[in-house]
């Protein structure tokens, strides 16, 4: 959520920043409603002061004695009128505050000062590439074809028991998925992340705090009878562990990793990636989440990107790192790097991790603050997250990049201890 004070004090800056994003965002209704609310607030303060003044006057006159009873009654009548007016103002203020908050929830984060300005993904900036020497040079079958040939994946049976965009992994396919999860968790916990196994169902407040609601309601699966939603990413429950808390600055940064299944409707993606492991309604992911001091935010962001890249390097999977421009930023991100893994069958790079710095955007929505020892007041933390990695897409990359001319698939060396084999 954007800082209302920033919108009030520097609306031109907010408009300028929002204009660099892909979309049209109007802050004028918020400015107008805030002016109305502040006007009511001033009137309420004036009336409260007058009410207190009247109470004192009535007490003084009654104590003095001999004062005209009519004068005292007139003061009492005025006091009652003040109370009645204050009673009317309270719900008006409450309604204006609710309207302002509802509008604030629809606004995306402001791009960071160092985020490249651009209109869409065509103006993203490539930061680096890694692993070109590991790209296979022979003809490659798409990962879903080789997986079905090897008997480790079935989309037909998964569709029968669920619907399209679900898969069932069998035998070595299930073991490979489990091995990838184990590798990712082992590497990230060794890098200093505390593992979390969070709930897979979260309430509306949790999705709102991290920015999925109200904007992405159609992307999520909801259990309407219980006000619960299946998580689209572990970012939601892990970040919300600290919702409505005041943390000690001495305990920052907090670094968590979490393996969870994730669930997304993929609304609006009709006809895209209908085969394979790239765009599913249910998929596994290891997520990295950080709660940090604003002063170390950028440093922690760069480290998070490196932690995600380390998994790709350990697997010797070619990838590139892209810095997203303002027009391609996610809703809550101020700055973001995408890691894109090489898929040789398609001859292209595909996103496998999105590493975002949200600044205090999620912290404001979730009311996550910290306090410095010996200082008055509190500040909002900064939150960061990134996939470390999307497991299904990692498997797709392994099946293609490690595919051999004879139709077998070699197992990356770092996964062999998990699987107890060197080839599929």
Over the stretch 275-324, which tens digit does the pLDDT of each residue have? 889 989 999 999 999 999 999 999 999 999 999 999 999 999 999 999 99
∠ CA 8-1-300, rounded to 5°: 115
Q: What is the dihedral of CA 115, 14, 240, 165, to 10 degrees?
A: -60
Q: Which position among 279, 298, 320, 379 bears the catalytic label? A: 279
Which pLDDT does position 77 carry in this prediction?
Answer: 79
Instruction: Tell me where in the chain the CATH 3.30.930.10 domain(s) lie.
Output: 121-419
**Strands, sheet with 379-380, edge to edge from the N-terminal-most edge strand:** 246-248, 369-371, 379-380
From CA 282, how far away is CA 263, in angstroms rounded?
5
Instruction: Give one word for 35, left, alpha or beta, with left for phi > 0 and alpha for psi -120 to 50.
Output: alpha
∠ CA 182-188-192, rounded to 5°: 140
From CA 354, how far away is CA 340, in angstroms rounded?
9
Which pLDDT does position 276 carry in this prediction?
Answer: 85
Active site residue 393: yes
Active site residue 351: yes
From CA 29, how far away is CA 364, in angstroms rounded?
20
From CA 164, how far away is CA 173, in angstroms rounded?
19
At residue 128, φ and ψ (nearest 5 deg) are -165, 160
Active site residue 353: no
The class level of CATH for 121-419 reads alpha beta
Active site residue 264: yes
CATH of 4-104 among 2.40.50.100, 2.50.20.10, 1.10.287.40, 3.40.50.300: 1.10.287.40
Q: Which position among 21, 37, 264, 369 bears the catalytic label? A: 264
Instruction: Tell me where in the chain the CATH 1.10.287.40 domain(s) lie.
Output: 4-104
Q: 339, 352 in Cβ contact below 8 A?
A: yes
Q: What is the dihedral of CA 112, 244, 290, 381, to 10 degrees?
A: 40
Q: Which position among 177, 323, 393, 400 bears the catalytic label? A: 393
Active site residue 129: no
Sign of CA dihedral 62, 67, 73, 76: negative
At residue 330, φ and ψ (nearest 5 deg) are -65, 165
Residue 257 has pLDDT above 90, yes or no: yes
Each residue of 37-66: pLDDT tens digit?
999 988 888 888 888 888 888 777 777 765
Q: What is the pTM of this model?
A: 0.90
Which pLDDT does position 305 carry in this prediction?
Answer: 98
Q: Locate tokens 């996610």: which residue?
A: 330
From CA 102, how far away is CA 89, in angstroms rounded?
20
């Amino acid at each position: 959520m954007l800082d209302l004070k920033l919108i009030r004090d520097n609306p031109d800056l907010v408009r300028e920043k929002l204009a660099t994003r892909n979309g049209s965002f109007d802050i004028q209704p918020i400015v107008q409603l805030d002016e109305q609310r502040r006007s009511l607030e001033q009137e309420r303060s004036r009336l409260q002061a007058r009410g207190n003044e009247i109470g004192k006057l009535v007490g003084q006159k009654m104590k003095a004695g001999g004062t005209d009873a009519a004068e005292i009654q007139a003061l009492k009548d005025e006091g009652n009128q003040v109370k009645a007016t204050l009673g009317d103002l309270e719900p008006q203020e409450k309604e204006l505050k609710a309207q302002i908050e509802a509008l604030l929830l629809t606004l995306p984060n402001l791009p960071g000062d160092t985020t490249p300005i651009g209109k869409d993904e065509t103006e993203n900036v490539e930061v680096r590439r890694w692993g070109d020497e590991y790209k296979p040079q022979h003809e490659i079958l798409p990962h879903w074809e080789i997986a079905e040939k090897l008997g480790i994946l079935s989309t037909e049976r998964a569709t029968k028991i669920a619907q399209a965009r679900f898969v069932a992994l069998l035998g070595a396919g299930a073991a490979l998925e489990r091995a990838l999860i184990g590798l990712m968790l082992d590497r990230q916990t060794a890098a200093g992340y505390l593992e979390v196994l969070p709930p897979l169902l979260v309430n509306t407040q949790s999705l709102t705090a991290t920015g999925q609601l109200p904007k992405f309601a159609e992307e999520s699966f909801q259990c309407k009878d219980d006000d619960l939603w299946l998580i689209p990413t572990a970012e939601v429950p892990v970040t919300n562990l600290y919702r409505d808390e005041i943390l000690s600055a001495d305990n920052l940064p907090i670094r968590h990793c979490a393996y969870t299944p994730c669930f997304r409707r993929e609304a609006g993606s009709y006809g895209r990636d209908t085969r394979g492991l790239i765009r599913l309604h249910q998929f596994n992911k290891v997520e990295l989440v950080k709660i940090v001091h604003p002063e170390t935010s950028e440093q922690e962001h760069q480290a998070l990107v490196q932690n995600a890249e380390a998994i790709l390097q350990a697997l010797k999977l070619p990838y590139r790192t892209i810095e997203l421009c303002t027009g391609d930023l996610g809703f809550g991100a101020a700055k973001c790097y995408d890691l894109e893994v090489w898929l040789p069958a398609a001859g292209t790079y595909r996103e496998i991790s999105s590493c975002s710095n949200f600044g205090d955007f999620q912290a404001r929505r979730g009311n996550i603050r910290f306090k410095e020892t010996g200082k008055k007041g509190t500040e909002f933390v900064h939150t960061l997250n990134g996939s470390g990695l999307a497991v299904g897409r990692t498997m797709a990359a392994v099946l293609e990049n490690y595919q051999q001319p004879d139709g077998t698939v070699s197992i990356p060396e770092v996964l062999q201890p998990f699987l107890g084999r060197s080839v599929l």
